[in-house]
Structure 1
C-alpha cells in the first residue's frame, strides 16, 4: 500500500492520560471531563437492538458529519481497524474531536486518499485529512496520501496527507506518509509526539507554531537525489505565532535531505538533542532556490546538542544560529506552544 524508507526507528507507544492543571482553558477541562463516544466500524450492519446503533458509523466522514457544531463536550471517535479510503475535513466550530484507533498498532487503522496539487487544483486541497477546528487530538492512526510518488523537480505533484489549520492540536503515536509536502503544518499551535513522518521534499511545511517531540523524520527520496525536511513559512519578524521546534527526534531514511529551506523570509526552525543519520546533508540548510525566493540571511535556523553522523559538519551553512541553553530549553518545552493552557 505504501513505501517505507529503509531506516525505521521503532516507536515506543505509551498512552499517557491527560493531567488537568489549573492553567488549562476552562472550556478544555469541561470538554475533557464529559467525553461522548462514537464508533466507526466498516463492517457494521444496522441492528435495532444494539444500544449503540445511533452512535456507530461505517466510515469516518459520517461520524464527523454527525457531530454538532459548537459542542462543549469532547467527542471521541473510536475507529475499528481497516483501510478507510476517504478525503476528510473537520470544519471550523467542530471543536474537541478525538480520533483514535482501537488498537495501538498504528498500521491497523489507515486513512488514505490519492489527490495531488494537479488533480485537486491546489496543494492544500490535496490533503487526505484536514482540520480547521480547535482542540483536535489523533492517536494510533496512519494518515496517508498515496498519489503517485513525487521525485525532486516534479511539477504539481505535492500530495498532503495531513493538514492542520486549527489551533491547539495534538498528534501522538501516528504515521503520516507521502512524498512531497506530506504534512501541512499550516496555522495554530500543535504538539506532535511519538509520530513517524515520511516524505522527501518540504515534507513538513507551513506557518504553524509546533513542537515535535520524539518523532521519526524519515526521508524517502531516491538514493541518488536530495530533498528537504522543512519549509517553514514565517514571513514577518514580529510574528511570534509561527515556528517549528524538533526535540529528541530521529532523522533517517534514504538519499540526502537538508534540514530545511525558507518558505518565508523569517523562517524559524530549531533542532535540539536530535539523532541525525548521515542522510542529513553536511550543509544542513539550503536556499529556497538558487535564483529566487526568501533569503536565508533573515531566517532563524538553529541546532543545539544534536548527535549522530549527520549532526556535526564543518560544511554547515554559515547562517546556522547558535543558541544558549536557556533558549534551547524554552524551544524544547511545551511552553513554546503555550502548552500549559491546553495540553
Structure 2
C-alpha cells in the first residue's frame, strides 16, 4: 500500500522541528513565569515555610505519633515572648478542642494537611461572641494554612443570648490565613481588629458571618450563604463596625465568589462608618437586589462606605442598589486593590 501526505514528505522533519521548538519556547516561557515574580501566584505550604525561614516544627497527631496529640498543648509549649517562627503541624484529623493563641506567643505558623483534612472543631453558643469562639488568636504575626475552624453548635433561638457561635476570633495585628475554612451558622468569623489577609479561604454562614472592625483583605475567597429559617429578615454577609471617619479599618473582597441558599445582603451597617468593598467578585443571585441594608441602624447613611467595583454575575445588577451604596471608579478602587491597604509588603510572607 502506498502512503501519502498532504505536505511534501521531505518537509515533515522540518515541521516536527518547528513544532518542538514552539513547545520548547512555550515551556520555557511558562517556567520563567512560574519561577519568576509570578511564582507567588501559587501559595502552598512549602512556599510559606520557605518564606518564613524556619526548621522548628512541633508535630500534633491524634494517634500519638507526634510531639503532642492536642493543638492547645503544642501552643502551650511555645515559650512566652517567642521571637522566631515555629511551625505547629496539625496532621490529619478532627481536633475537638477550643484553641487559644495568647498575646505573648507570636510567630506561630499553624500548618494543617489541608482544610478538608485538618480541622479544629468545638460546639458552643454564648451571649458573648468571644466566649463562644472555637479558635482565638490574640498574638501578632500568626499564619494558618490548610486548617478548618468550625463551631458546630446548633442554631440557637434568634434574638436571644444563645445565638452567638463563633468559629474564629481574630484579634491581633499581622495575621494571615491561607487555604483555610470557617464554618458556623451565625457570626462565623469575628474579624475583630488588626490587619489581616485571607487567601483562597472558604467562609460559611447565614447572618453577620463576617463581622468586626478589622482592616482585612479577602483574596479569592469563597463565601457560601446558608439559609436561616428562624427569621423573616434576610441575613448579611458582613457587619463591619468602623468607629469613625479617622479609623482605618474595613473589609475588602477581591475576586472570589459569593453563592448559596436563600437571599442575603452584601453587608449591613453595624455603625455609622461601616466600610466594605466587593471588587471583581462573582455574585450569584443569592444577593438581594438592594445589595446593602441599614437594618438595626437608624442613623444617617451619609458616612457609610458600602461599595462595589467591577463585580459580575446575576447578583451584581445595580439598578435596585441601596441609594447610599457606591459603584467605584478605577481611581477610587485602586487603594483597596493594593496590598498596601494592609501594608502587606511589610509583614506578609507572600501575597497575590
Give the TM-score, by structure 1 length.
Answer: 0.84
Secondary structure in 1 aligned to 2:314?
Answer: coil
* Aligned equivalent of 1:228, options 231, 236, 249: 236
Q: Which residue of the other structure, out of 73, 80, 83, is the alignment partner of 1:72?
A: 83
Q: Deviation digits for residues 286-330 of structure 1, max 9, x if unmatched?
A: 0132xx555433211111100000001311000002322133132
Moved more, 32-41 or 137-146: 32-41
Flag as ranges the 4+ runs of structure 1 deviating above 3 A.
150-155, 222-225, 292-295
Selected match of 2:314 from 303, 309, 313: 309
Where does residue 4 of structure 1 map in the other structure? Answer: none
Q: Distance in 2 between matches of 1:294 and 1:263?
A: 11
How far the C-alpha of 1:14 sits from its partner, in A, is: 4.6
What's the counterpart of residue 113 of structure 1?
A: 122
Cα separation, 1, equivalents of 2:165 and 2:89: 26
Higher RCO structure, 1 or 2 (CA under 8 Å, sep 6+)? 1
After superposition, the Cα gap between the structure-2 partners of 1:311 and 1:147, relative to the gap in structure 1 and judged at 3 Å, is same
Specify the SS of the correspondent of 1:107: coil
Residue deviations 1:10-65, cap 9 Å, x none? xx985172599xxxxxxxx8xx33441110011116xxxxxxx7xx1011000000
State the Cα deviation string for residues 153-207 of structure 1 (Å, max 9, x = none): 5653111001110100110101100011000000000000100000011000001
The structure with more radius of gyration = 2
Q: TM-score, normalised by structure 2?
A: 0.82
For 1:231 and 1:251, the matched residues in 2 are separated by 16
Cα 1:194–1:313 change in 2 (3 A) is same
How do 1:118-129 and structure 2 match up within 5 A? Answer: 118=127, 122-129=128-135
Task: Count matched residues.
Answer: 305
Does 2:341 match 1:329?
no
CA distance in 1, matches of 2:157, 2:48: 40
- Supply the distance in 1 between the matched residues of 2:136 and 2:107 (Cα, whole angstroms): 15
Distance verdict in 2 for CA 1:273–1:136, change over 3 Å: same
Alignment partner, residue 170 of structure 1:
176
C-alpha separation between the residues in 1 aligned to 2:200 and 2:160?
A: 31
Match of 2:94, SS state, is: strand
Cα deviation digits, residues 69-99 of structure 1 (max 9, x gap): 1111101011111111111110002101011
Q: Is the helix fraction higher in 1 or 2?
A: 2
> Deviation per CA, 1:95-128, whole angstroms, max 9, x where unpaired?
0101111x33x2211111111124xxx1111100
Partner of 1:256: 263
Deviation at 1:263, TM superposition (A): 1.2
Hey, what does 2:68 align to over in structure 1?
57
Note the 1:66-145 alignment, pairs <5 A. 66-101=77-112, 103-104=113-114, 106-118=115-127, 122-145=128-151
Task: Name the CA distance, whole Å, in 2 between partners of 1:303 and 1:236.
Answer: 21
The match for 2:282 is 275
Secondary structure, in 3 states, of the residue corresponding to 1:117? Answer: coil
Provide Cα deviations, 1:254-285, integer angstroms capped at 9, x if missing partner: 00110111112101100100000000000000
**8 Å contact 2:125–2:156 — kept in the other structure?**
no
